[in-house]
Amino acid sequence: MHYTSLDQFITTQRAALSKGPIAVILVEDDVEVDTTLRHHLQSGFSHVLALMPALFDLPRDLQETVHRIDYNVSLEGATEAAINTIIDAAQGQWIYYCYNAEYLFYPFCETRAVTEMLAFHAEERRSAMLTYIIDLYADDLDVYPDAVSLERAHLDRSGYYALARHDPANDGHPKERQLDFFGGLRWRYEEHVPPARRKIDRIALFRATPGLRLREDHTFSDEEYNTYACPWHHNITATVCSFRTAKALKLNPGSRYEINTFKWHNSAPFEWHSRQLLDLGLMEPGQWF
């Protein structure tokens, strides 16, 4: 299923946008595109959309199961434009978005489909879910110069923290139930990361509603969507385990030759299992057991 533009997909596939949850994979380069798509297909999304350059190839099995849409993700504002267009076309549906070489993990994801988790989350009167971007990186940059290896992936087991999110419209007072989260490679190599891109929080799962807009900083126009929990108890949170920052640090000429290894004393092999992320406190099940 190949579409030459997002508009063509929306025009011809209204039925696909009427059944969620929908996963939108924004493909920036040709690294681990197939594994990213397969991971989210296996998670139980009703439809998986791959927004990607026309010159990239997809394996035959993915051509039959993924909605491939020609799209240039590298343009300024391309992410917000794509997601906001899909929001308008998929009203009422749960939407998830990430980039290639990023993998969604949520509590008990090995035995429970994403539809089950979102059904419970909706029962708690929540329309969005906070996810943390957990940096992955290869342990040996001589063997894996782009810092990507599924078999040798590592993560930071500590070094994460949160700060109050101040509201300029309210004399700088902290916003209710909103925090800015930091950690991982963006914290350890912050001198190579612009301040606006150092946060690791993203509202990657949300329900499309009229007038909702994704902003450049991965927050939404509806402030309740940007909260980490409802007022009465903790909610489910999830993680997006991502090679994206590691790739960027090794691609950027300003940092490429400054970094010989991403490993440090708090590195640990990534086990590709939600239990490890729960044990490290990188996500929580809330009231869902």
Pairing of strands 161-167, 67-70: unpaired
The separation between CA 145 and the C-alpha centre of its own chain, rounded to angstroms, equals 23
Q: Which residue has the tokens 């301040």?
A: 195
Average pLDDT over the chain, rounded to an integer: 94
Under a CB-based contact definition with an 8 Å cutoff, are residues 189 and 255 in contact?
Answer: yes
Q: What is the pLDDT of residues 207-241, one digit of tens each?
A: 999 999 999 999 999 999 999 998 888 899 999 99
Q: Domain extents for the chain?
A: 1-100, 104-113+133-202+211-289
Query: Which amino acid appears at position 266 of this protein?
Result: N
Furthest-apart CA pair in the chain: how many Å?
A: 55
Q: Which residues have C-beta within 8 Å of that of residue 68, sequence separation ≥ 6?
A: 1, 2, 3, 50, 52, 58, 62
Own/partner pairs, 256-263, CB within 8 angstroms, 24+ separation: 258/192, 259/141, 259/189, 260/141, 261/139, 261/140, 261/141, 262/137, 262/138, 262/139, 262/141, 262/147, 262/154, 262/185, 263/137, 263/139, 263/154
Mean pLDDT for 44-55 is: 95
Can you tell me whether residue 63 is helix, strand or coil? Answer: helix
The two structure tokens encoding residue 2: 């190949």
Q: What is the pLDDT of residues 56-76, one digit of tens each?
A: 989 988 988 999 999 999 999
Q: What is the pLDDT of residues 123-181, one digit of tens each?
A: 999 999 999 999 999 999 999 999 999 999 999 999 999 999 998 888 778 999 999 99
Own/partner pairs, 5-12, CB within 8 angstroms, 24+ separation: 5/69, 5/70, 5/71, 6/51, 6/69, 6/71, 6/82, 6/85, 6/86, 8/69, 9/49, 9/67, 9/69, 10/85, 10/86, 10/89
At the topology level, CATH places domain 1-100 in Rossmann fold (3.40.50)
Q: Which residues have C-beta within 8 Å of that of residue 173, sequence separation ≥ 6?
A: 166, 167
pTM: 0.95
Under a CB-based contact definition with an 8 Å cutoff, are residues 203 and 181 in contact?
Answer: no
